[in-house]
Structure 1
Amino acid sequence: MGLKRQKLAKKIINFYKYNFSFREPFQILVDGTFCQLALKNKIQIKEQMPKYLMGEVKLCTTSCALKELEILGGDLYGAKIILQKFQLRSCPHFKKPVPASQCLLSMLGESNPHNYFVATQDRSLTEGLKRIPGVPLLYIISNTIVLDKVCQTSLDHVRAVQLGELVSPAQQQSITSLKKEQGIVQKDGERRGRKRKRKQSNPNPLSCLKKKKKSGPTPPKKTEEGKKRKRVRNKKPSTAGGDMPAPAVTNA
């Protein structure tokens, strides 16, 4: 595995980790087209996928994808055997199977809440998945597994979240219905006007004022009790015959 290709894959995985909360083990939805090309190029999916994604993975599929290979039969029998070894995820088409591409799109919904990777060689499915934010795509090219670069939908989603411009699907539907009532719905062919650049606002004058220096803590005043009391020395009275001076001697 090329060092450059692995570094690029690590960068893309980190993008999905930080912005869409992807965590190990990575769940990878695999369809029959991916298994067929892996079999043709002698790629061991279970061995190479964890090495390429640098983490633990869970390979899974749906009953619709298996049913599609079973109906087609013929040369796809080997791909069916490989796909049967993966974990089966329940889909809403158990009674009435649908094409694998339609089934995988329904599994991801509008926001890929279960954080699935998708491994496929179906171009129509890939185009549909690129309209959903937060969907990492895996495909095989030149006998190697490749993680597709981040699509523009995911980049726009992250940018909208960072700017606080993202709205919920329910709010988006109400906005669209109001636009239709007012007759201001923009056609697909029309170009959108350029966004106006925000003018730089002047700084708040209050924030420019110099902050007053805080005066240091005032030393505590000494209380009278803390002052040292002067010691009063009491003089002892003189005793008789003790320290009296001698009388002066006079000549008779």
Structure 2
Amino acid sequence: MKIKRQKTAKKLLAFYKYNYGFREPFQILLDGTFCQAALKNKIQIKEQMPKYLMGGVQLCTTSCVLKELQSLGKELYGAKLIAQRFQTRNCSHLKKPVGAKMCLLSMVENNNPHHYFVATQDQDLSVKIKKIPGVPLMYIVQNTMVLEKPSSQSIAQQQSLQSNQFVPVYQQETIQQLKEEQGLVKEPRRKKRKRKGGPNPLSCLKKKVRPPQQPSKEKRRRRARKKMRITESSVKVESTM
């Protein structure tokens, strides 16, 4: 089951790499709900996240998330301790802190220019994140971390850019280079040249002339007996006449 989940994650990561230019180390924005779920399910985020995404990661949060966890008191004290271990990214709410939900949405607005992943258990936040194309969403289900499939907005944007005339030249080169590095570009098969076929060498062989076989002694005896019978029968016929 673990191998199957990693294969699925690899395919989903390939989508974001080729279409939105994601690179390692992946930047994961975590909120308090994700840290609390990891604490309850005994998930070591720092150890398991790189293994699941099969690459380097940078776990980070914002000052608004930390202040919200602090204001919620003892119930989320453990989640606050976990979040404090991560890098704190500067948001635009240093003077006037806002809720974690609004803060994370502001970090990925305008098509997620800094290529953040968002890790949350907040359903309302997840719905709003899916409306922004090019934002990978992560959550915890049954003691395991899960990378959500690309949203319909992300797929629709990618499909609209499939035609080369709408894709910038630098983006085409980046996508092509990534595909070559991952070995996903298949070399065109070379057509086999048809060689001019000559005559079948077996048909050109001369027929072997077999020497005439002499009858065996037994066959000679049979022939002699047959002749004798014929002559005797003819003599009897003449005598009767």
- Please, what TM-score do these two structures have when normalized by structure 2? 0.67
Matches within 5 A, 1:6-17: 6-17=6-17
- Residue 25 of structure 2: aligned partner: 25
Question: Matches of 2:108 and 2:166 in 1, distance apart?
Answer: 19
Task: Pick 1 or 2: higher relative contact order, CA cutoff 8 A, min separation 6.
Answer: 2
Query: 5+ unaligned residues in a row in structure 2: which ranges?
Result: 168-241
Matches within 5 A, 1:38-187: 38-163=38-163
Matches within 5 A, 1:198-217: none
The offset of 1:76, in angstroms, is: 0.1
CA contact (8 A) 1:62 1:88 kept: yes
Q: What do you get for the CA RMSD once the two structures are aligned? A: 1.4
Query: 5+ unaligned residues in a row in structure 1: which ranges?
Result: 168-252
Question: Matches of 2:76 and 2:154 in 1, distance apart?
Answer: 33
The runs of 4+ residues in structure 1 deviating greater than 2 Å are 163-167
- Please, what TM-score do these two structures have when normalized by structure 1? 0.64
- Residue 214 of structure 1: aligned partner: none
The offset of 1:2, in angstroms, is: 1.2
Q: Secondary structure at the match of 2:104?
A: helix
User: What is the identity, as a one-letter code, of the residue corresponding to 1:88?
Assistant: T
User: What is the identity, as a one-letter code, of the residue corresponding to 1:136?
Assistant: P
Aligned residue-pair number: 167
Question: Matches of 1:130 and 1:166 in 2, distance apart?
Answer: 23
The offset of 1:83, in angstroms, is: 0.1
